[in-house]
Structure 1
Amino acid sequence: MLRQQRLNKLVNRASEKPLCIAHRGASGHKLENTLEAFAYAASLHAEMWEIDVRLTLDGVCVVSHDDNLMHTAGIDANISAMTFAELQSHRLYNGEQVPTFEQVLALAVETECGLYIELKGESAGVEVLRILEQQPEQNNGIEIGINIGIGSFIPEWVAELDKLNCPYPLSVLVRVGDCPFEQAEKAKADMIHLCWERASDTPHEFLTPELIAKAQSLNLPIVIWHEERASEIEKLLTMPVIGICSDLPELITGYRPDDSNPIELVLHRGANDVAPENTEISAVIGYRMGAKVIELDLNTSSDGELMVIHDLTADRTTSLQGPIESLSSEQLKQCDAGSWFAPSFSQQRVSRFSDFLSLAQQFDGELYVELKQADVDQVIQQALACNALSRCFFWSFNSEYLEQISQRYPDAKLMKRRQDFDSLSALIAAGKPTIIEYDYLIDDLNEFSQCRDAGIKVMLRYPGQDIEKWVELIGLQPDSVNIDHPFAFARAYEKWLSQTKGQKQECRLKQEQTV
């Protein structure tokens, strides 16, 4: 495939919205430029990874931003002064070795993620090309290649690849104060990558209509700096750029509902498919990726603290053992509540209910609070003390808890499950809730309009990640969905929206033909 064809493929992939380029992998979560960071970026649905390549003393191409290992391993030694064998003797902070470019490439092919390669060492580009040339592009006539882009801050290194007839799109990275078009000319680049994250608090303002128009006239697609400010990302997503780098891919790859069907996301135990359930990181990722509500479970410690943990015992999800009611809040706050999910989450702890109330306020979100073993008065009083009662709705398998909330706190919002009642009228007669949850398998999904006529919101529960099933369920337009796979839902929603727009356009064309 020719370079221009690959560039067109990249631009077409970004035609609906800018691609998410995970900066040094998901480096806001994991140690930068490691296989762990790249794999996690894939789980957060990043389309490409930005990686930094350089050569060891004996010419092996490895992935590391800095030449010196102090930042990633605490070792004052330079990669360029070591042979690859010597480099392999050192361990990074996460226990890995500095990965080779070939290892990262293999992982990218396996996860179907593209690579945006920044050259950090002289001659690294030539070695990258040699390795890429060894990769099979087709299998029985079917293209299996991934998107590749290669760039550098040093125009001469990029221009060298142009002279070698590089078959991959070339990019020049542009510092604040440099003219992107002059740099592109020097580099013979196909793309300009604006590294202006520190230019101001609102660097999107430097993407003026004049700059964009000139870039378009010169056929120079724009890639954007690494950005972690949600407000800036929302602005950048509306601009004609093909890629946005970020240490936090979930800010880009998350859910953005259309006004025609503004379904709210309720994440069961947080973003539990990419982080340990009921931990603060699972809630933070959930809110960042567009969830309105985080579901959590409350149990009570031996010293009377409301703790966020699902099971009545600590055995399954923590380093402790025994009933929660026999463990102190201090023990729970100090234990390891993440290693069971993955070793890199070992710093996660069991949090207090008040911690989650603070998170909800921080992200202007809400909480779906399930009471396992908890004092109703204590739960409501904590929510009131944090001025967050309106941010919560409540449910429990213990019907006595629900009755107590209903009788003592009429302003508190309750959820009820449709499956627990013989009929919708019986459910409402037992005390009208704010929300009714429908299970997609066992409940009558034709009752949504009746709920809304009664002033009750509909929450649809679907624990799976089948995209086609989600497209079908999204079409039912529930008010919210209670899910376990938010990134899969986001992709399904995009597919539903695309199909809906296509159907509307087809109808308009038929009407015009009829006229």
Structure 2
Amino acid sequence: MSSTFRQRVVGRRGAAALAPENTLAAFEAGYRAGADVLHVDLRLTADWHVVAMHDETVDATTDGDGRVGDLDLASLRGLDAGSWFDPRFAGERVPTWDEVLELAVVRDVDVLAHLHGSWSGLEAALVTDAVLDAGFGARTTAASSDPGTLDAVAAAEPGVRRSLVLHRSDPDLVARCVDLALDTCSPHGRLLIQQPGLVARLHDAGVGVLGWALDDPALWRRAVDLDVDAIVTDDPERLRAWLRPEVPAQRRAA
């Protein structure tokens, strides 16, 4: 591939293939691997703190159990979020949204914040206020599969970019994105195969396209051929090497 290749690399959950997902270790790994953007899953704790967590429960990615929304921040911070992936990550903690933003600011890398579930305007403001406090409004995109949540983000801070995450076919997708005034849409990789004209239709409507959860070179090839604007992958190091084999993927630690 040419070194002028314009599609951006998004490290999903930081770099879920390289380190325990949604931990500071994973976000650092994503940066080191050459990701242009760090994707992070966000949920609310029982005491209204925004934390990095994909699942509704902590069971799969920590040594604890229970729903994120039923636990307070102190309880979550006491969990080991690294050992399940590899013993060398023992002691990794569930990071707060503020900590993820702090890392992104220091590393000078954009953020794709995926809000899971339905968020009210007051809840969405917890995300956008932190972005504004960090001076990172122009570098952050809020993503969700819930249109109501995307509306809540826009009400809280109109300047934050927004993206609709799509896991299944929607015949009204382009109109929906236009009605929501979205900057981008994030269809799952399989939809790019099933609907080869989808990217072009979104582009024609002025909506950018992020190819979601693409971890196979065959899917990367398909996404490139369709001219997506970014590829969201668990393994940004391997994708970066595939895109630009003549450029080293690893960044040096600062």
What TM-score do you get using the length of structure 1 for normalisation?
Answer: 0.43
Q: What code does the residue aligned with 1:456 have? A: V
Is the alpha carbon distance of 1:425 and 1:312 closer, same or farther for their aligned partners in structure 2, counting shifts above 3 Å? Answer: closer
Gaps in structure 1 of 5+ consecutive residues: 1-255, 498-515
Is the alpha carbon distance of 1:305 and 1:476 closer, same or farther for their aligned partners in structure 2, counting shifts above 3 Å? Answer: same
Judge conservation of contact 1:474–1:493 (CA < 8 Å) in 2.
Answer: no
CA separation in 2, counterparts of 1:357 and 1:279?
12
- Where in structure 2 are the equivalents of 1:194-273 lying within 5 Å? 258-259=3-4, 261-273=5-17
Residue among 446, 452, 459 paired with 2:197: 446
CA separation in 1, counterparts of 2:142 and 2:172?
21
> What CA RMSD, in Å, does the superposition of the two structures yield over aligned residues?
2.5
Gaps in structure 2 of 5+ consecutive residues: 248-254
Residue among 160, 167, 170 paired with 1:412: 160
Residue among 163, 170, 182 paired with 1:433: 182
CA separation in 1, counterparts of 2:74 and 2:165?
34
CA separation in 2, counterparts of 1:342 and 1:470?
27
Is the alpha carbon distance of 1:269 and 1:309 closer, same or farther for their aligned partners in structure 2, counting shifts above 3 Å? Answer: same
Residue among 22, 34, 37 paired with 1:278: 22
Judge conservation of contact 1:457–1:479 (CA < 8 Å) in 2.
Answer: yes
Shift of 1:469: 4.0
Q: What code does the residue aligned with 2:109 have? A: G
Does 1:370 pair with 2:123? Answer: no
Judge conservation of contact 2:163–2:182 (CA < 8 Å) in 1.
Answer: yes
Does 1:487 pair with 2:234? Answer: no
Q: What code does the residue aligned with 1:489 have? A: L
Shift of 1:449: 4.0
Does 1:385 pair with 2:130? Answer: no
CA separation in 1, counterparts of 2:91 and 2:156?
38
Judge conservation of contact 1:463–1:485 (CA < 8 Å) in 2.
Answer: no
Q: What code does the residue aligned with 1:439 have? A: H
Q: Which has the larger radius of gyration?
A: 1
Is the alpha carbon distance of 1:278 and 1:257 closer, same or farther for their aligned partners in structure 2, counting shifts above 3 Å? Answer: farther
Judge conservation of contact 1:360–1:391 (CA < 8 Å) in 2.
Answer: no
Does 1:403 pair with 2:156? Answer: no
Is the alpha carbon distance of 1:431 and 1:326 closer, same or farther for their aligned partners in structure 2, counting shifts above 3 Å? Answer: closer
CA separation in 1, counterparts of 2:16 and 2:25?
10
Q: What code does the residue aligned with 1:274 have? A: L
Judge conservation of contact 1:415–1:433 (CA < 8 Å) in 2.
Answer: yes
CA separation in 2, counterparts of 1:315 and 1:334?
14
CA separation in 2, counterparts of 1:396 and 1:479?
18
SS in structure 1 opposite 2:141?
strand
Q: What code does the residue aligned with 1:402 have? A: L
Paired residue total: 240
SS in structure 2 opposite 1:318?
coil
Q: What code does the residue aligned with 1:355 have? A: E
